[in-house]
Amino acid sequence: MLFVNPDAHSNRDIPNLSLAYAATYFKSRVIDYNTLPEPINRLYTGETDILGVSIQSRSYSHANSIKRKYEELFPDATVKSINGFMDVLCCYPFLQWDDTLNFDVPFSDELPFPEYERFDSFDTFFKNWKSGHWHYPVVTSLGCPFLCTYCASRNRKWISRSPENCVKELKQAKEAIKAEAVELAMELAEKKLKEKLTKEEQEKLLEDSLTKIGGKG
């Protein structure tokens, strides 16, 4: 099994978070064309039994091109879209083909933390996270109650992870990356726990602290 993130021509500093969770769950490598567009032919050097493609509206054309070329080169392979708990990223919806690999796991503290090292673009992410040039992403919640017309995530039920679980992921990122921005966010998040604030106050402070490293809420 192999996963692909087509080129969306935008947000190259943000990993495909939905695909990161799916790749961690299925223990699959990821060819990431959005952050690492070249070399373009690296996907086609060998055959896999199942090729999973993460499709957004902004990468639909490249996804279809990948499907056509892969099936032409490797007719015995199965090419599927990937569907999971996250159906919107950076305001753009994820799309599906008729043949879809479903990642049927609910968003909760039970999810393993995303293993970004599964992306072939990981060295680029790591270098930029460590330097502070790019923000390390943390998915704290899904859904949004607001009505922004440009965003596919508008007017949806809000579902969150616990503050403790988010802090645990931040600690892991701090140890792995040694990034100052991650350390600052972790200290702010821990502070709110020590102060024994209400759940609403904890979540607000955690959200504010995660903003410093590009947290997704």
Digit-coded pLDDT (tens) for 76-87: 999 999 999 888
Average predicted confidence (pLDDT) for the chain = 85
Alpha carbon distance 94, 85 (integer Å): 10
Predicted model pTM? 0.82
Alpha carbon distance 180, 124 (integer Å): 18
Per-position pLDDT tens, the chain of length 217: 999 999 999 999 999 999 999 999 999 999 999 999 999 999 999 999 999 999 999 999 999 999 999 999 999 999 999 999 888 888 888 999 999 999 889 999 999 999 999 999 999 999 999 888 888 888 888 888 788 888 877 777 888 889 889 889 988 888 888 766 564 454 555 555 556 556 666 566 555 555 444 444 3
Give the fold, CATH level 3, of 2-102: Rossmann fold (3.40.50)
Provide, for the chain, the percentages of residues in helix, strand and coil under a 3-state DSSP scheme, each rounded to the nearest 5. Answer: 40, 15, 40
pLDDT at 17: 94
Task: List the Cα angle 65/92/106 in 5-degree steps.
Answer: 100
CATH 3.40.50 maps onto the chain at 2-102
Tally: H helices and E strands in the chain: 6, 10
Cβ contact 23:29 at 8 Å: yes
